[in-house]
Amino acid sequence: MPYVTTADDALIFYKDWGAGRPVVLSHGWPLNADSWEAQALFLAGNGFRVVAHDRRGHGRSTQTWHGNEMDTYADDLATLLDALDLRDVTLVGFSTGGGEVARYVGRHGTARVAQVVLVSAVPPFMLRTPDNPQGVPADVFDAIRAGSLADRSQLYRDLADGPFFGNNRPGADVSAGIRDAFWLQSMAAGHRNAYECIAAFSATDFRTDLDAIDVPTLVIHGDDDQIVPFPVGGRASAARIPHARLLVYPGAPHGITDTHREQLGRDLLDFLSGKDA
């Protein structure tokens, strides 16, 4: 299987599909590159080279004891882009992956980057603090940590059956297959890695990273996102990034890579092709 090796000798697994201008997909917590398969297949079939990696500690990548934080995630992404010598890249980050993309730009700039897309993403800053009063209270994330320690398998099952895909909303009909795939990918993540990543996605302040984005940016978010609430995530990011385009999916949940896979694929293709999303 294809891997790149990081500075601390971690192996980062990646998929490399298609040919053309590169698109790099960063996944959410606690998933892996498989969560992007619908969009990767669609974009690769429409003339793009699509690279999707497993974040360290997730999927097929090394379950390192250390490095489960955004600076290292971003540096791992830089290693991937450098090793494959990818240029004129569109970076697409879903949820935690959106934080990884933002931190990459903040630490490494946009010399290799042509476009950025944030999908249901955690920036600018999820945690409620005195200077971020609209954020999510710390006890929400404490409860996720407690669930992870007590019975992480059931935690992932509860997320998949409930708020992640909006399956707790009246009339929702998210297939058992989609929910099972979430659980399966989640259980492939290392226990410590997934646990520490909760702090990485919830307590990392990406505001200055967003300020560094100087390429065309598309922000996509569902307005019924129960994981990263729209006002905290998409709306705030689009307001902060100069000239960002905001695309709101009415009534959509967090996991739109599955629940809105065809719409998301079309909107990504339009943006990649220079059309209005």
* Catalytic-labelled residue, pool 26, 35, 61, 95: 95
C-alpha dihedral, 118 to 90 to 85 to 49, nearest 10° = 110
Determine whether 8 is an active site residue.
no
Determine whether 186 is an active site residue.
no
Contact 206, 105 (CB under 8 A): no
| Pairing assessment for the beta strands 21-26 and 48-53 based on DSSP bridges | parallel
**Cis-peptide, bond into residue 253, ω within 30° of zero:** no
85: left (phi over 0), alpha (psi -120 to 50) or beta: left
* Integer Cα distance of 128 and 117 in angstroms: 24
* Catalytic-labelled residue, pool 54, 75, 209, 225: 225
* Integer Cα distance of 223 and 209 in angstroms: 24
Q: E-assigned strands of the chain?
A: 3-5, 11-17, 21-26, 48-53, 89-94, 113-119, 217-222, 245-249
- Report residue 260 as tokens: 């809105």
Determine whether 95 is an active site residue.
yes
* Catalytic-labelled residue, pool 53, 58, 221, 254: 254
- Catalytic residue positions? 95, 225, 254
